[in-house]
Structure 1
Amino acid sequence: MNETRTTGRTADARPSTGIGRARGWARLALLLVAGCAAVVAAGAGSGGWLVLLIGFAGLAVAGAGVWWVLARRGGARLLGGLLAVAAPVAVLVLYAASGLWVVAVGALALWAAALASARTSLRILRRPRGMHTRRSPRPRRPVLIMNVRSGGGKVERFGLVARAEQLGARVVLLGQDTYVDPATVARQAVADGADLLGVAGGDGTQALVAAVAAEHGIPFLVIAAGTRNHFAMDLGLDRTDPVRSLDALTDGVELRVDLGEVSGRAFVNTVSFGAYAEIVQSPEYRDSKAATALEHLPELLAGDGGATLDVRADDARVHAPQALLVSNNAYARADPLGGGRRPRLDAGLLGVIGVRVDSAAQAAELALLGERASGITSLTSLRVVVEADRDTIPVAIDGEAVELPTPVVCSVRAGVLRVRVPRHRPGAAYAPPTVDWRRIVRLALGHPDPRTLKDSYDV
């Protein structure tokens, strides 16, 4: 995670060296693609050309089955579930029975190797350098706010209170008998002289206290004691051992990161609109997420159970997405089936992902093409305005369900949050770039496009 800056001759040499290595990997990727085609062609006499067609068809049918599971009830949902499971199994059985499995395994292995080589090529050009860190003095009066219920009781399980107090921090506990507003606690701590605010809790609590820290210009410390800890992950913290987050108190460095804002409320990760935001409003969602989603999705996907959204992201428009995700900095990939992470938290831009799938055919396309499917809109923006055919709409802010009046305005406050992190931390997991074969071909031929050169060492 820590950035190492280079200057002079070494820094000037890096791009050309990197492009040379990337070109080699791009050429290997094309050779592997050719090998994949050769394997399929060699098996053509026994139906080898059917290998890819059957595999793609099975994936498409499985995608359509998933759509019916989500968008239908009764017999159609049952049929969809059977298709989603049976289609891939049927493809494997057919390969085995016809003797095509050798061709299929060989072709898939070569294709996987080609994708890995192509991603390595792009990764070299877009090598994540990490967010810039700077030294800062050790806090004298740190105050840490800990939610004892977050993450299934991680505060108590990992002994965070005792460890924090050993390191000189004052601890305020939340989640006990009555609800206490974290922002109110944070403001009182600042008034009492706190020179650092920290949170052991979920991302929603993190955002509330982070806003207070940003308002007063004091450092903010993240303790990965929530359930998912997306913010902690993208900061490169160790999510398996929240005690290590406390190392920042004695041996820490500082990052300047952005803070999202939606209708005057801060968020550190995402703001969701549409289907997900509607579902999390349900009181049953916390205890039964899958069943609640399946109960509400058919109406939401058909447009009968939720508001119709109209989205303006700077000069771009996204009309009537079924689901909309606005993130504090963009995710590396927009594939809703693949998850993801944010390579940076200091780019000063919102990420916008809109999803609209209206039929089984579009669901099949999504299964085949992922984030390149026509139902996926992915872009970045400084400001996002969400309008609707209702006066108020449900919104999920860092996973917390709220209702906001329309229009809902999302923006980003660049570099306003000083985050103190341990000097030594695992770093965020690498997010492989989406493979653009046109760029790979141009790079292999020695003609990288201007976008490739601009992206080099710029992440």
Structure 2
Amino acid sequence: MGIELLDGRAHARQRWAARGALGCAGLAVLLPLGYAREASLLLVAGVLIGVGLTLASLWWVLTRRGIVRAAAGALAVAAPVGVIWWFAVVNLLWVVVVSMALWGVAVWSGKFALSSTKSHHVHIPEHHAPPPTRPFLIMNPKSGGGKVDRFRLKEKAERLGATVHLLDPAHHEDVAVLARDAVRNGADLLGVAGGDGTQAQVAAIAAAYDVPLLVISAGTRNHFAMDLGLDRGDPAACLDALTDKGVELHVDLGYASGHPFVNNASFGAYAAVVQSPAYRDDKVGTTLELLPELLTHQRGPRLTARIGDSVIDAPQAVLVSNNVYRSDDLVGLGRRERLDAGVMGVIGVRVDSAAEAAQLLLGANAPGISLLVADQVVVDADQDTIEVGIDGEALVLPTPVSCRIAPGALRVRVPRDRPGVPEPKPPLDWRRLRKLAAAVGRTALPKHRERYGWAQDMWNRWR
């Protein structure tokens, strides 16, 4: 009875959250209609015009130089400030603020209500395997601002029986060669404490020799570690995988003309900017200097991406990812729900005017955004070579560049007890919310079920 009572309370919270979401959404719409009346249309128009002008101005900032760029920058600031000033003058600013706050509560409550239902999220299956006997770990002491030293990763790994090779920051070392030699000398696990680019190179060797890979979240961003569900705040916790507390995940590995990637390969403007020698010392200045010609196709290659029967012609940027990034929720950008689906995600961006830049307000539905899924992608250009960013590493590759996915090629050993991948919030479905809010709750007490069960049955038939 206790479990049923808890389940009933959870469903009650779910229903009330749905009702709260619908109520707040209704108030968010009715408040400007009721207070501003005929001026409510001006409220909506003012917001849309302000946002559109801001996006268009930012496009001019990125594609122009000199006085035009300065004027566009001023307009990008003046547009939202002007809209706020106008709302204040006509005494509608508080209406906008309250309405936006109500809408924010509605969205939060709605997602809470829907996420309380059974989730369709699929987790990567775990495979039990004995712990390694001769693990070999490569650690970059400078990665992540010195996490290797700060968390004493070398000492802790050696106490667990691992052989640790610290990279020398003063001399370049080929981590792929180190990993290959280690396997040939008997290593039965390869591990990396470093950035995603280093992990990808070692991952390719692990996949080629069919030995597991240990990912230690000692990098700066740790995107791969995040999607594996590892603890990014405590890299030392990843070392539990060296013991009998570890399990294996079989995940996919991407390749761009033979170069492996665990996250993505990027083409176009961004890949060209990071190739510049000045980028490391002056990222903002270098970006603003190079983007005008890159975005307007006055400089750099003209790309063509072929994804099955689809073609993206002359995009400014193409991102090919190992499995698909989420695009339905701003909070979920940069996350992947799966690493074992055997497909690649493709994001193409083509914006040729300020008007098209303003249409980016539509998000994934903008005409300039292409979202595709494929198992093979070919990126070609009108030049013999193109710049490519592979897991953050800048490369120049001959065209065409063929990207493919190797399903389940990589065995990754992770701790059984780990934070896990954050459960994705489902997209808002107002129809589901309405049905959820209208549902009559069932209490867990038998006497209440006997007393009100007939009413529940009638309600279900009427619906």
TM-score by length of 1: 0.86
Kept in 2, the 8 Å contact 1:333–1:433? The answer is no
- Aligned-partner Cα distance in 2 for 1:335–1:29: 17
Match of residue 45 from structure 2: 53
Identity across aligned pairs (percent)?
54
Q: How many residues align?
A: 426
Match of residue 44 from structure 1: 36
- Aligned-partner Cα distance in 2 for 1:206–1:306: 29
Gaps of 5+ in 2: 1-6, 437-463
Cα 1:125–1:327 change in 2 (3 A) is: farther
Q: Does 1:145 align with 2:138?
A: yes
Match of residue 72 from structure 2: 80
- Aligned-partner Cα distance in 2 for 1:336–1:70: 23
Aligned partner of 2:272: which letter? E
What are the superposed Cα offsets for residues 24-80 of structure 1, whole Å, 9 maximum, x if unpaired? Answer: 877765554333221121023473332222122211121112112211111222222
> Residue 272 of structure 1: SS of its match in structure 2?
strand
Match of residue 267 from structure 2: 273
Kept in 2, the 8 Å contact 1:309–1:319? The answer is yes
User: 1:431 Cα shift?
Assistant: 4.4
1:159 pairs, out of 124, 127, 152, with 152
- Aligned-partner Cα distance in 2 for 1:385–1:433: 32
Aligned partner of 1:441: which letter? R
Kept in 2, the 8 Å contact 1:394–1:402? The answer is yes
- Aligned-partner Cα distance in 2 for 1:23–1:126: 16
- Aligned-partner Cα distance in 2 for 1:407–1:220: 30
User: 1:229 Cα shift?
Assistant: 1.2
1:107 pairs, out of 95, 99, 105, with 99
Match of residue 248 from structure 2: 254
Match of residue 60 from structure 2: 68
Kept in 2, the 8 Å contact 1:23–1:444? The answer is no
1:398-437 aligned at under 5 Å gives the runs: 398-435=391-428
- Aligned-partner Cα distance in 2 for 1:337–1:323: 22
User: 1:150 Cα shift?
Assistant: 1.8
> Residue 418 of structure 1: SS of its match in structure 2?
strand
- Aligned-partner Cα distance in 2 for 1:424–1:89: 49
Aligned partner of 2:292: which letter? P
Structure 1 window deviating more from structure 2 (329-338 vs 47-56): it is 329-338
Kept in 1, the 8 Å contact 2:257–2:402? The answer is yes
User: 1:22 Cα shift?
Assistant: 8.6
User: 1:90 Cα shift?
Assistant: 2.7
> Residue 166 of structure 2: SS of its match in structure 1?
strand
- Aligned-partner Cα distance in 2 for 1:109–1:318: 39
2:224 pairs, out of 224, 227, 231, with 231
User: 1:304 Cα shift?
Assistant: 1.0
Match of residue 203 from structure 1: 196
Q: Does 1:283 align with 2:277?
A: yes
Q: Does 1:314 align with 2:304?
A: no
Aligned partner of 1:327: which letter? S
Match of residue 367 from structure 2: 374
Aligned partner of 1:40: which letter? P
User: 1:148 Cα shift?
Assistant: 2.0
Kept in 2, the 8 Å contact 1:329–1:347? The answer is yes
C-alpha RMSD of matched pairs (Å)? 2.6
Gaps of 5+ in 1: 1-13, 447-459
Match of residue 454 from structure 1: none
Q: Does 1:397 align with 2:387?
A: no
- Aligned-partner Cα distance in 2 for 1:249–1:130: 22
Aligned partner of 1:133: which letter? E
The higher radius of gyration belongs to 2
1:323 pairs, out of 299, 306, 317, with 317
Cα 1:272–1:336 change in 2 (3 A) is: farther
Aligned partner of 2:431: which letter? V
Kept in 2, the 8 Å contact 1:48–1:100? The answer is no
Kept in 1, the 8 Å contact 2:304–2:379? The answer is yes
> Residue 221 of structure 1: SS of its match in structure 2?
strand
Kept in 1, the 8 Å contact 2:121–2:424? The answer is no
1:35 pairs, out of 27, 34, 50, with 27
Kept in 2, the 8 Å contact 1:384–1:410? The answer is yes
Aligned partner of 1:351: which letter? G
